[in-house]
Structure 1
Amino acid sequence: MTGTRMSEDGAPALPDPAAVDPAVLATLLARHGWVRRGGPTARYGRWTPPGDSDPGTSVLVPAGGGFDDAVDLLADAVTALSRSHTPSARSILLALTVPGDEIQWRREQPGVPGAVTWEGEERLHEAARAMLSAAAKAARTRAAYFGARLDGWAGDFVQRALVVGPATAGGLTAYTPAPEGRAAVTTLVRALEAMRDAVDYRRVSGGLEAFENAVQSGVSRELVEAVQLLVRGATAAQVSVAWSAAVGTPGGFGDRRIALEFSPGDLPALEEAAELLERIEPAVAVTVVGVVVRLKRGGPAGPGSVRLRVLSGAEVAEVKVRLDDRDYRLAAEAHLTGVPVRVGGRLERRGGFRRLARPHGLELVRLEDAERERLLKTLGEGGQD
């Protein structure tokens, strides 16, 4: 996840008034409880903060961008929000500045109110990253346990998330691209809802079957572990999502902030669920094409282990394979000549789907010279252990 540009006082840079959509600003104000008061409905609306939180603040929002004074009014509105003491004003400015769906993580820790330990802050970031990664994988395909599968896909998604904050100690806000990244966020919401229900069911019935059913909603061992990380050492934890006002609300969801809470009391059920979800994920039969990048065996003859950089056939970056003497020699030849190999087997969950068990049918994959040179440049030189 990457950070957004900040101003000199540490606050996010203000949005360009000329780029602000009045309809989006009005939607954000309403979402955060601001009240529209008076003003000709065809031209503008005056908005004030909820309650009496900041009685001296109001913003004038034009009904559209076609009026001569629209940009001036929007500039005044942005300035008023930047000076407001209302907590939601900052959130509104962030939503205008950073495009995408907003995800917030919070951890309440024992000790001094409003303070957080270094370890707690690091755990918050680690949990958020792990949660986004698990959601991205589940948006691509459902699995009880992913291991190393789809690491590249998930890594790309996490890198496109923009981090803003924390706004307060123990809080972290990220914006994910919308609509292109929305499948991961909707999957995250559905999965966390299913996980919350499964934890409650475990407490009432003593059974874990709800976690198995929740896999179809996007729950995985990785997501369970991310929630564990968020909760452990905290007195309470919350994940909330607000949809991008510019893109609109996805089908099946209401235009409201979604908040899901977890507590230390959930940890026993989550620990059991993590073990269950890894155990029920089956091995996967694959035929992999890859480049031999490592070779290792105890002597000049006999079986040995090789590592393949996967080109196709499995959604992992590398796999380890133990080969008999004949296939090991063939793999060594492929390594020396830079020729890929094709081999069948079963990706096993042990080791995170990084090992290919029961290998069979190892053969060289001949390439044209130009294609082989391109491949070698892409992979770099492989070493030998």
Structure 2
Amino acid sequence: MTSRPHEKPVRPLPPHPDDAAWNRAPRPDEVDPAVLGALLRRHGWQRRGGAAGRYGRWTPPGPGSAGTSLLVPESRAFPDSDDLLGEALDALARSATPAARELLISLAVPSDEIRWWRDAPDGPGGAAPWSADEQLRGAARQMLLAAALATRARAGYHGARHRRPAAALLQDVLVGPAAEGRALTAFAPVPAGRALAVTLHHALHAAREAVDYQRATGGMDAFDGAVEAGVSRELTEALTALVRGTEGARVAVAWAPAAGIPEGCAPAAEPVEFSPGDLPALRAAAARYLRAEPSVPVQVTGTVDRLRRSGPGGEGTVRLRVLAGAEVPHVRVTLGEEDYRVAGHAHLVGVPVRVRGRLERRGGFRRLTGARGVVPVRVDDAERERLTKALQENLDCFEEDPGQGPPEAYRDGDRG
């Protein structure tokens, strides 16, 4: 018997904040010639002459570029500036190269660019294994999520905390074309995604310095200080996933020319490199962060959505959908007989409960230990409606753990 429908309601995805710009090519009157020139230089295009002070002739990188060029005005000071920009944009739109597509993305949605490279062994005929692309994308997403978590709080181990707002921050990130499992670019729109890019920039350099210190001295102390820069177990695991099975990997963050350089960041930072020789230090750091992160004293308010105990009396376990007091979607709590009875009655009448305890790092901060003082929280009709609406809007955050069945209000003959 279950207390929820077999199928979750399907809700439409929220619209991208820049849908209008993303669904069409940028117009000449929307493009700053200086920004276009900076992006061309970043993507390896070379300026090869042109009328000084008026326009530049740019050719793309790589072989086979002879005869292909763009005329880009240096400013809007001349009447033909829009015509030249329009011709350049048309040429980029007709090009099939990944660099041209990335240029158009950056022009349509001004973004900080995050790039990953993996030096993976070639397969037959230079092809990459199918799993290489999955590994690259998976590691890149892990890394972005780790940076998003660090924008919410600095911690050596985040576990399940702050996952919902961190995942929401990633919804605005765009992804460019991948290069056979070896290269990938993400675009973090500014200003919404700038904090994500800045945090990742600082965290990558701090992780590199901490790894260098560990390999030179054998000490792990530098990883403790790196937490303030955004390094965490989640980031070290993402770096491990990126490097594993390669001859080396690199990550670079490049700032949107239209938005300028963030305070405290280098204008043109070199890619941060990691090698297979760094893996022992990264794995040791991940284990250290897990051990060192302390449990957290909290006072949680939540609704009871599952109760379980082995007999008609004694202690039992309840699961709370968290409404306030902890940055996790749900927690499990072992309660004594009286507190368990209070939780059962609160479930029957449909009111939340409040409980104090310590949020344990074991299991990802999903378990409350030392729980005490379970009390129902009285709410008026308006507040009850607000809480119900909040739960309905976040059903996707309250998935069951793998291997568990659907929630049941009472089990094993217990009726509160």
SS at match of 1:160: coil
Q: Choose from 335, 338, 343 the match for 1:331.
A: 343
C-alpha contact 1:243 1:257 (8 A) present in aligned 2:
no
SS at match of 1:246: coil
Residue 79 (1) aligns with residue 90 (2)? yes
User: Compared with structure 1, are the counterparts of its residues 86 and 124 closer, same or farther at alpha carbon in structure 2 (3 Å cutoff)?
Assistant: closer
Rounded Cα–Cα distance in structure 1 between residues aligned with 2:385 and 2:341: 23
Residue 100 (1) aligns with residue 104 (2)? no
Shift of 1:107: 1.9
Q: Which segment drifts farther, 112-121 or 304-313?
A: 112-121
Query: Which residues of 2 match residues 1-385 of structure 1 at below 5 A?
Result: 14-33=25-44, 34-35=46-47, 37-41=49-53, 43-49=54-60, 54-65=65-76, 67-82=78-93, 88-112=99-123, 114-256=126-268, 258-379=270-391, 383-384=408-409
User: Compared with structure 1, are the counterparts of its residues 84 and 254 closer, same or farther at alpha carbon in structure 2 (3 Å cutoff)?
Assistant: farther
Rounded Cα–Cα distance in structure 2 between residues aligned with 1:98 and 1:376: 37
C-alpha contact 2:173 2:193 (8 A) present in aligned 1:
no
Q: Which segment drifts farther, 81-90 or 309-318?
A: 81-90
User: Compared with structure 1, are the counterparts of its residues 167 and 233 closer, same or farther at alpha carbon in structure 2 (3 Å cutoff)?
Assistant: closer
Rounded Cα–Cα distance in structure 2 between residues aligned with 1:361 and 1:44: 73
The CA RMSD measured in Å over matched residues stands at 2.6
SS at match of 1:292: strand
Letter in 2 for 1:302: G
Deviation track 1:251-309 (CA, whole Å, cap 9, x = no partner) reads 22233254111121111111111110111111111111111111111112111111111
Rounded Cα–Cα distance in structure 1 between residues aligned with 2:302 and 2:111: 37
Shift of 1:356: 0.6
Letter in 2 for 1:97: A
User: Compared with structure 1, are the counterparts of its residues 107 and 48 closer, same or farther at alpha carbon in structure 2 (3 Å cutoff)?
Assistant: closer
SS at match of 1:366: coil
Rounded Cα–Cα distance in structure 2 between residues aligned with 1:51 and 1:155: 37
C-alpha contact 2:134 2:181 (8 A) present in aligned 1:
no
SS at match of 2:271: strand
Rounded Cα–Cα distance in structure 2 between residues aligned with 1:334 and 1:254: 55
Rounded Cα–Cα distance in structure 2 between residues aligned with 1:302 and 1:331: 14
Shift of 1:120: 2.0
SS at match of 2:301: strand
Rounded Cα–Cα distance in structure 2 between residues aligned with 1:215 and 1:227: 15
Structure 1 length normalisation: TM-score? 0.89
Shift of 1:23: 2.2
User: Compared with structure 1, are the counterparts of its residues 114 and 196 closer, same or farther at alpha carbon in structure 2 (3 Å cutoff)?
Assistant: farther
- Percent of residue pairs bearing the same amino acid type: 54
SS at match of 1:78: helix
Shift of 1:151: 0.4
Rounded Cα–Cα distance in structure 2 between residues aligned with 1:51 and 1:35: 14
SS at match of 2:185: strand
User: Compared with structure 1, are the counterparts of its residues 94 and 243 closer, same or farther at alpha carbon in structure 2 (3 Å cutoff)?
Assistant: same
C-alpha contact 2:156 2:293 (8 A) present in aligned 1:
yes
C-alpha contact 1:130 1:226 (8 A) present in aligned 2:
yes
Rounded Cα–Cα distance in structure 2 between residues aligned with 1:114 and 1:19: 40
User: Compared with structure 1, are the counterparts of its residues 19 and 363 closer, same or farther at alpha carbon in structure 2 (3 Å cutoff)?
Assistant: same
User: Compared with structure 1, are the counterparts of its residues 82 and 56 closer, same or farther at alpha carbon in structure 2 (3 Å cutoff)?
Assistant: farther
Letter in 1 for 2:313: A
Shift of 1:80: 3.2
Deviation track 1:157-180 (CA, whole Å, cap 9, x = no partner) reads 122211111144422211112122
Shift of 1:383: 4.1
Structure 2 length normalisation: TM-score? 0.83
Q: Which segment drifts farther, 374-383 or 117-126?
A: 374-383
Letter in 2 for 1:208: M
Rounded Cα–Cα distance in structure 1 between residues aligned with 2:67 and 2:24: 23
